[in-house]
Structure 1
Amino acid sequence: MTRICVFGAGAIGGYVGARLAKAGVADVSLVARGTHLEAMRAKGLSVTQAGETYTVHPKVTDDPRGLGRQDFIIMTLKSHALPVIADTLAPLIGTDTVLLFGQNGLPWWYFYKHGGRFDGRVLESVDPGGTLWRKLDPERALGAVIWQAAVLGRPGHVIHGFGNRLAIGEPSGEVSARAQALSAILGQAGVESPIRPNLRSEIWLKLWGNLSFNPVSVLTGGTLEGLARDSGTRAVLAAMMEEARTVGEALGVKFSVSVEERLDMAAKVGAHRSSMLQDVEAGRPTELDALLGAVIELAQMTGIATPALKLVYDLARFRVQVA
């Protein structure tokens, strides 16, 4: 049976791992920590979805050394945690182990097999000094865009909010056998997992909302719906998105919706407080560099001016530091 480890099994990772365990389509193990881990050890992992609750009992640990080599490792930590845990992945990695990266923002492997003028370039904002590139090897990487929303209601209990798509893709754009295998397993577990030949465009579609709404929410305390419906903040968000679109298009990205449509998509989510705002209020590190700092780095590489992005980045960076 295919061996899959979900590394960073919080809300999203816990949801995906629970779906896999419930379906019995893989030998599943979860790496977590703290009270969440202890709760799963004691009573299993419970998931509430569409008003129904179920409990599964996969292997759970905070020490991956006892899990053995894996076929797939699904990485659901936040981007800033990857350098911290890179060395701890070694016991899980065999000759053909594939790492699926589901972080928000621009991924560290972004220019691996990109094919453009920056092919093979390391993004310093998300991978300072190329540490992840060297230690994790981009040849092992599959990209992912996670569209599910979930929260931990309490330790050991995931509450699924909305969405069930987890798009995956090779950095090269090919439809590989390993991508097809993982897509099929996730599909059997009830997680919609289309293979995208151009995953970077879908990464940007999600990033487009995150790079704007998340830092502006940190500065204002506003919800997605509130920020999108207020004329003043909507204008700021739109200016940020227009600058980001110029950067993305310079790198070959195709945007499937307009700025106004993307703003309306966020508004439909409702009175949702962004993950970055929640992180700041809880005193946790944020994804500011992966979501916005990396786009500003790309703008500098391509010679594109991004005054709105830089202004909001500088203000949000200060807010994060003093939180």
Structure 2
Amino acid sequence: MKVCIFGAGAIGGYVAAKLAQTDVDVSVIARGPHLAAMQEKGLTLLEDGRDPINVPVRASDNAADLGPQDYVFITLKAHSVPAVVDTMQPLIGAETTLVSGVNGVPWWYFHKLDGPYEGTRLRSLDPGNVQWNGFGPDRVLGCVVYPAAEVVTPGTIKHVEGNRFSLGEPDGSKTDRAAKFSVALSAAGLRAPVRPRIRDEIWLKLWGNLSFNPISALTHSTLDVLCTNPGTRSVARGMMLEAQEIAEKLGVRFPVDVEKRIDGGAAVGAHKTSMWQDLELSRPMEIDALVTSVQELGQLTGIATPTIDTVASLIKLRAKVAGLY
């Protein structure tokens, strides 16, 4: 099995390091000092309670060096993907599956979704239908990424917590391609359940990202603080209830209520969300996939999102002032 990790940063590097310890033919697309370090000395993985592991990986910034793959695991941030659709084409053969490990509402969300919105395309996520036309939604296998990891130095990944990558076909069917990729991840020591309702898990994760990320970036508060402070907890609750109404209209089932979801965020502790980290590090902020997309879904379904709209206006202006949106 040939697997290319496209965007081998923290999460992509973690997956690559795990797969490289199996019989999978794994390669990575990366750039800059991180790429140079992997090319020179391999990829190093740090996990609590284990000795550091160093594995050789085939690494390049040019997809043409790697050729067609069985699976391309996309671990970029959502706003980065449209710009690389063309450069990714050498990795895509007739039978290639694209594993969508991107946060937020995915561009393929309405592909094969029963109901009146089937086939709808989201402008906030795929302007100009670049991904829909360039990849084709039939290639996509959904994936909800749960682990946390970080690049501590170029070529070195530290695994923080979690090892689950939930997989699911857009139409909920059981397929060989989903089963085979699940087996490959499981052999690498990762949890990879195949879910018949992958959108339920997408929304459960998005619920927190939609609210916690922009609030933390605006207030510079860690999860334990913003989830317990009465004011910010109330704002998060308002955003999540609006999102829940939208999701349920689209057929999503939530396994927990809003209060339990917020309590779960508080239990993570003094954690800086990715959006706050991006602001601090002057990296483009992942606003559209996590926030704007939900606004668009509200407009599509006719559901008002006043709390989300307010927070979206604030975080977009904050990001624009910083030159990150």
| TM-score category (smaller protein) | over 0.9
Q: Mapping of 1:1-323 within 5 angstroms?
A: 2-22=1-21, 24-52=22-50, 53-323=52-322
How far off its partner does 1:68 sit?
A: 1.3
Root-mean-square deviation (Å):
0.7
Provide the identity percentage: 50
How far off its partner does 1:231 sit?
A: 1.1
Per-residue Cα deviation, 1:100-149 (whole angstroms, up to 9, x for no partner): 01111000000000111110010111011211100010000011000000
How far off its partner does 1:90 sit?
A: 1.0
Three-state SS of the structure 1 residue aligned to 2:118 is coil
Per-residue Cα deviation, 1:282-311 (whole angstroms, up to 9, x for no partner): 211111110010011000011111100000
Three-state SS of the structure 2 residue aligned to 1:194 is coil
Three-state SS of the structure 2 residue aligned to 1:229 is coil
**4+ aligned runs moved over 3 Å, structure 1:** none
Distance (Å, rounded) in 2 between the aligned partners of 1:255 and 1:196: 14
How far off its partner does 1:262 sit?
A: 0.4
How far off its partner does 1:209 sit?
A: 0.1
The answer to whether the 8 Å contact 1:25/1:189 transfers is no
Distance (Å, rounded) in 1 between the aligned partners of 2:23 and 2:48: 22
Distance (Å, rounded) in 1 between the aligned partners of 2:231 and 2:157: 36
Per-residue Cα deviation, 1:250-301 (whole angstroms, up to 9, x for no partner): 1000000010110011111111101011111221111111001001100001
How far off its partner does 1:25 sit?
A: 2.6
Three-state SS of the structure 2 residue aligned to 1:143 is strand
Distance (Å, rounded) in 1 between the aligned partners of 2:300 and 2:3: 37
The answer to whether the 8 Å contact 2:142/2:198 transfers is yes
Per-residue Cα deviation, 1:18-40 (whole angstroms, up to 9, x for no partner): 00001x23100011000111111
Distance (Å, rounded) in 2 between the aligned partners of 1:270 and 1:95: 45
The answer to whether the 8 Å contact 1:8/1:75 transfers is yes
The answer to whether the 8 Å contact 2:39/2:57 transfers is no
The answer to whether the 8 Å contact 1:108/1:126 transfers is yes
Distance (Å, rounded) in 2 between the aligned partners of 1:269 and 1:86: 35
The answer to whether the 8 Å contact 1:125/1:294 transfers is yes
Distance (Å, rounded) in 2 between the aligned partners of 1:239 and 1:275: 21
The answer to whether the 8 Å contact 2:7/2:28 transfers is yes
Distance (Å, rounded) in 1 between the aligned partners of 2:11 and 2:83: 20
Distance (Å, rounded) in 2 between the aligned partners of 1:125 and 1:116: 21
The answer to whether the 8 Å contact 1:218/1:277 transfers is yes
How far off its partner does 1:51 sit?
A: 3.2
AA matched with 2:26:
V
Three-state SS of the structure 1 residue aligned to 2:210 is helix
Per-residue Cα deviation, 1:140-174 (whole angstroms, up to 9, x for no partner): 00110000000011111100000010001000100
Number of matched residues?
321
AA matched with 1:37:
L
TM normalised by structure 2 equals 0.98
Three-state SS of the structure 1 residue aligned to 2:227 is helix
TM normalised by structure 1 equals 0.98
> Which stretches in structure 2 are left out of the alignment for 5+ residues?
none
AA matched with 1:35:
P
